[in-house]
Amino acid sequence: MGAPSLDSKFAGSVPQIYETLFVPLIFAPYAADLVNRLRARPVSRVLEIAAGTGVVTRAMAEALPASIPIVATDLNQAMLDCAAAVGTARPVEWRQADAMQLPFPDGSFDTVVCQFGVMFFPDKPKAFAEVRRVLQPGGTFIFNVWDRISQNEFTDVATAALVPLFPADPPCFMARTPHGYHDKDAIARDLAAGGFRAAPEITTVEARSRAASARDVAVAICQGTPLRNEIETRDASRLGEATDAAEAAVASRFGRGAIEGKIQAHVIVVVA
């Protein structure tokens, strides 16, 4: 991730809620997808950027041979601390790093992986140029981004539920940032501007998001992401009210027991 801001600040109780509720809600299916794609390619040394609490890191540590080193980085040390506490099936190197200025020599890796992180980079071509720099010639950059918010049902419903609470300035983090970088042509242009000459392979992948309750969805979205920062900046005393509103909206649409909804993302593979 790039420079710290409300959109990229994962601190306080956010990392733990993110790991406990948000990761199984929407990230786990795409972590498995990324790792399956990795296993089909020659891999010898992997860098993960914007690793968060380590859902992809854990999947890679289980799926890839122990002889393949994995270096997992994130801008937020609190996220890495949570990831390290959860642990991995084999040792990996956790390292705080800014994707805009990667602290590695040229050509250090043959594979760079990023799950749902590039949306947070303030200058995407610059970040892609850093990825290109640390990749060996012929190395692979594989990452994913969320499709538009309307294709991701739980998040769309929860975000809309907050508009009546803050009509003059609705919290729009989820639409603006996680779901704000879905244009395939823009992604291809930014990769080219970052020095990738090959055309990217972009695949749209639909999956199902499952939760034990509407409450889990509401807490995950309102309290386990930087959306919380937006709500608290407007009125910290209304975080509970906002969470309740999101829960009510999700329950009205999907029910009050175990629920599921559509999620959709783009998976991008490009060779250096």
Q: Where are the domains of the chain?
A: 6-149+173-210+263-271
pLDDT (tens digit, 9 = 90+) per residue, 50-76?
A: 999 999 999 999 999 999 999 999 999
Q: How confident is the model at residue 2 (pLDDT cuts 50, 70, 90)?
A: very low
Q: What's the whole-number mean pLDDT along residues 149-156?
A: 98
In sequence order, what E strands does 49-133 have?
Answer: 70-74, 93-96, 109-115
Give Cβ neighbours of residue 7 (< 8 Å, ≥ 6 apart). 120, 173, 176, 177, 226, 229
Instruction: Report pLDDT for 4.
Output: 41
What is the average pLDDT across 105-129? 97
What does the pLDDT read at residue 14?
76
- Find, among 22, 268, 1, the residue nearest to 117 by Cα: 1
CATH code: domain 6-149+173-210+263-271 is 3.40.50.150
116 vs 8, residue with greater confidence: 116
Report, as an integer, the average pLDDT of 87-112: 97
Model confidence, pTM: 0.93
Residue/partner pairs of 17-22 with CB below 8 Å, 24 or more apart? 17/219, 17/220, 17/223, 17/224, 18/52, 18/53, 18/79, 18/82, 18/220, 18/224, 18/225, 19/53, 19/82, 19/83, 19/86, 20/224, 21/216, 21/219, 21/220, 21/224, 22/220, 22/221, 22/224, 22/225
Percent of the chain with pLDDT over 90: 89
Predicted confidence (pLDDT) per residue in 178-193, tens digit: 999 999 999 999 999 9
Average model confidence (pLDDT) for the chain? 94
**Comparing 112 with 79, which gets the higher pLDDT?**
112
Average pLDDT over residues 34-61: 95
Written as six digits, the tokens of 251 are 């329950």
**3 pLDDT more than 50:** no
What pLDDT does residue 260 have? 97
Give the neighbor-by-neighbor strand order of the sheet with 70-74.
Answer: 93-96, 70-74, 46-48, 109-115, 135-146, 259-271, 201-211
Q: Quick one: pLDDT band at residue 1, thresholds 50, 70, 90?
A: very low
Please give the average per-residue pLDDT across 101-127, as a whole number. Answer: 97
pLDDT: which is higher, 10 or 147: 147
Q: Are 22 and 51 in contact (CB under 8 A)?
A: no
